[in-house]
Amino acid sequence: MNYALVGAFVLGLGALLVAGVLWLASGGAWQKKYDVYLAVEDESVAGLNLNAPVKYNGVDVGKVQAISLDGTNPKNVNLLFSIEHGTPVKEDTIAVLKTQGLTGIAYVELGGGSVASPILLAKAGARYPVIRTSPSLSARLENMLSSVLSKLDSTSTNLNAILSKENQAAFHSTLTDVAAIARTIAARKDSIDAGLVDGARTLKNTSKASAGLENLTQRMVRSADAIGTMGTEVTKTSVSAGKTIDIVGADVKRFSTETLPELERLLGELSTLSRSLNLLTEQTRRDPSGLLFGHKSVPDGPGESGGKP
């Protein structure tokens, strides 16, 4: 019998049994597969430990695999998540740090993935798909408190400036002046009352005058309407006068064209007749008998001859 062969067989069988037990303990054929995702946080991750749960809308889907500082920007923290294969991590999925109850144990909450958004994949040149992050509640509260404290500090500074000694002295002087004005008004109360009464009376008279002015305005409006009507009539009359002048002008033009030549000829004939009458009158005055017996030829005087020279 070979004891060495038997010992080897026993050791091999024991190893197989141990391996089988370990395989069954780890889940065996039902062991889950995980995908690795990267998330970059720009806030403190205090309280978040390795193997901290990663939840998707409150359901455990994985764990935190690694936590490290970003070598290029120390303000950022790189988180690697091991998430069950098939979990619908979308491009619009957001990772937020949260704390569990009063214990302060931190975990990562995923949410925000919509149905229409595509599945998140690693970009070209990147090792892991990158999940977007959003500030945690504690970070938002811290930022809000910082803003409130900053505003309170600014308000305190402004109040200190307002309550400076110079402004206090100015406030005191202003209050003194107000008190003096109040005493003066109290001392002249009767005069002020009388002035108010006179003012009311003046307003009443002004109201009456305004009513009279309104009537005057209405009369002026009616007068203006009448003047407008008269202007219209004058315009119509001017148009008629223009037409009449045009007719007279046409008659004058026709008179100048047709009658004046006849009148000139008549005046010429009258002038000729007048000269003839003057000549006849002169001859009759010299020889009245010539009007009955005709004119006799006048003999030539001394030195005159009937012939031409």
Q: Does the pLDDT value for residue 270 go beyond 50?
A: yes
The predicted model gives 201-225 an average pLDDT of: 71
Q: Which one has a higher pLDDT value, 188 or 221?
A: 188
Tens digits of per-residue pLDDT, 44-85? 888 888 999 999 988 999 999 999 998 888 889 999 999 998
Q: Which one has a higher pLDDT value, 15 or 298?
A: 15
The predicted model gives 110-139 an average pLDDT of: 88
Q: Does the pLDDT value for residue 268 go beyond 60?
A: yes
* pLDDT interval class at 11 (50, 70, 90): confident
Select from 104, 127, 113 the least CA-distant residue to 37.
127
> Which of 84-88, 100-104, 159-163 is least confident?
100-104
The predicted model gives 99-120 an average pLDDT of: 82
Q: What pLDDT, on the 0 to 100 scale, is given for residue 183?
A: 81
Q: What pLDDT, on the 0 to 100 scale, is given for residue 308?
A: 44
The predicted model gives 202-212 an average pLDDT of: 72
Domain locations in the chain as residue ranges: 31-134
The predicted model gives 244-256 an average pLDDT of: 57
* pLDDT interval class at 240 (50, 70, 90): low
Tens digits of per-residue pLDDT, 16-50? 888 877 776 665 555 678 899 999 998 888 888 89
Tens digits of per-residue pLDDT, 145-196? 888 888 888 888 887 777 777 777 887 888 888 888 888 888 877 888 787 8
